[in-house]
Chain A
Amino acid sequence: MKIAIASGKGGTGKTTVSTNLTSLIAESNNVVLTDLDVEEPNSGLFISGKTLHEEDKFKMIPEWKKDECILCGSCRKVCNFNAVMKLGEMIMVFPELCHGCYACSELCPTKSLPMIPKKMGELKHYKSGNLDFVESKLIIGEEQAVPLIKQTIDYVDENFQKNIIKIFDAPPGTFCPVIEATKDADLILLVTEPTPFGLHDLILAIDTMKELKKEMVVIINRFGIGDANVEKYCEEHDIPIIAEIPNMRKIAEIYSEGNLIYTRIPEVRTQLENIISFISKYQQENVL
């Protein structure tokens, strides 16, 4: 079963929920946590384990071989991203603009633009008790998160059985990286905070997940701060709220140190248990 934790707004507590939730599940069951916020992955700061596997991740980009090139310029014409330019008697490739569609390479009449791998990030797989933790980190300066997210999900698909609970910590926002991180998920947990910013971005996230035809439920973090409009909205739109994590300065302090919260604050443990029982029920009902 695949569960994605998403939010719309950044900093609402996605990483807090995903690290604490998976650590609590791991007290009695196998679980996989994958950090797909490859631009700024933070889950690893809260989980320590033994490294099982490390690998570099690559995207494919064209490389110009001048010997056979007849400078016909078809590569430049077929590229919709301006990643290939013809300058005088030279063909130049701009790797950061390349989306890796292969058109220039495969349509080149003299095969002068073979695709070569270019490192875009690193994947690490750790193990801590029952918890498998996978994270990928995008190289700074690399603009496209989507290919790395896709390869990270592929790694998880290849290495773990279907029925294991897999939690994916998605990036913030509602655009391409979030869609890539959530499109395979069976269930979406939306973490929000009860504030105008939280609600505004939650609605964007809900609408995006509806577009993807996803089942979703809401977790309110920092419950008690702000106003009641998130609860009102969820009630009006029939979206279940399955947990309310209280607003406490102490939680922010524990988080700031890189520590897990549920082991020290019983109220948080109770809320996480609510999430776990919802997940088990959902898994049974939907045979996932």
Chain B
Amino acid sequence: MREIVIISGKGGTGKTSITASFAYLGGKDVIVADCDVDAADMHLLMQPDLAGSKDFYSGLLAEINQAKCIKCGKCSQVCRWDAIPVIDNRYVVQPLDCEGCGYCALVCPRDAISMNEQNVGKWFLSNVKTGTKMVHAKLEIGAENSGKLVAKVKNEAKILAEKDGKVIVIVDGSPGIGCPVVSSLSGASYVVLVTEPSVSGIHDLKRVYELVKKFGIKAGCIINKADINSDKTKEIHKFLKEEKLELINEIPYDENFTKAMTMGKTIVEFDNGNIKQILEDSWKIIREV
């Protein structure tokens, strides 16, 4: 079983639209995992039925038992996040600031602070329109640990793939280079980098590829909106050559991506011409890697 992770560094390069197209083309042979948990959008194109849902617990939050508290202020003093201010003459934990380190609970002389696991969201195991299953998640507002939720989603997708005898897990990764992306990359067999020929697209591609290199994972690149700036596209070619990275394909700027999206469709369901052909060719390459 292989795990193909699609990432982009920069947002808005078309990563999710392209990932959903591969999920569509992969059909019953693949399991789909939406690991862009901060802004999970793939369900808008895959129409999951939310058949199975489970609570996700992660991260600790300090809670002060006011009946036991003697207001010594030690908790507040040791907190590096200033998460325990005095409000109305009481020490009160600010949930959005609490990092869950538990130092306050350790120094409390009256054992008045407990560290409790938080129900930070839900993860779903859904049937989707392509006749397969998709693992996805929704975090509560302000919840932390999206990295852990990414790991959970990926892990459940792998278990499912093994159980159902599927050969490929397609993962929609997160933007950036921080903890959710690190979680998305860990254990990947192949990484598809979706970029665009702009100064920021190239800048972010280079940074995220540095991260991919640290993991030693084989990667290829898709240049979306390739005809927006031919000089920048050439610059990407040069970079790919230097890094010995495979250029999987180039996709021209096309507003049909948006039109398909407004109808809840992947671009390969909507477009019958050039774009569909390019994505089919790309999927063949990726599938065979």
Contact = CB atoms under 8 A, between A and B. Distances in A.
A binds B: yes
Interface of A: 8-12, 15, 37, 39-40, 42, 45-46, 78, 80-81, 99-103, 106-107, 138, 140-145, 171-177, 179, 183, 195-197, 200-201, 204, 207-208, 211-212, 225-227, 249, 252-253, 255-258
B261 A175 contact: no
A15 B210 CA distance: 22
17 contacts: A8-B39, A10-B10, A10-B39, A40-B177, A40-B204, A42-B10, A42-B199, A145-B176, A172-B176, A173-B174, A173-B176, A179-B142, A197-B39, A204-B141, A255-B200, A256-B201, A258-B199
B261 to A, nearest CB: 5
Given A225-B255, A249-B228, A172 B178 contact: no
B155 interface: no
Interface stretch (B22-30, B84-92, B99-107, B157-165): B99-107
B80 A257 contact: no
Interface residues of B, number: 59
Interface in B58-87: 60, 78, 80
B44 A200 contact: yes
A146 to B, nearest CB: 9
B228 A256 contact: yes
B262 A227 contact: yes
Contacts of A138: 177-178
Contacts of B141: 174, 204, 207-208, 211
B264 interface: yes
A140 B10 contact: no
A12 B203 CA distance: 17
A201 B115 CA distance: 31
Contacts of A204: 39, 141
Interface of B: 9-13, 16, 38-39, 41, 44, 60, 78, 80, 96, 99-103, 106-107, 115, 139, 141-144, 146-147, 174-179, 182, 196-201, 203-204, 207-208, 210-211, 214, 225, 228-229, 232, 253, 255, 258, 261-262, 264
Given A45-B200, A201-B41, A80 B102 contact: yes
Contact of A252 (B178, B204, B228): B228
A175 B102 contact: no
A196 B44 contact: yes
A106 B196 contact: no
A102 B103 contact: yes
A177 B9 CA distance: 15
A179 B98 CA distance: 12
A92 to B, nearest CB: 19
Contacts of B13: 11
Given A197-B44, A258-B200, 9 more contacts: A10-B10, A39-B176, A81-B101, A140-B210, A195-B262, A204-B141, A212-B96, A225-B258, A257-B229
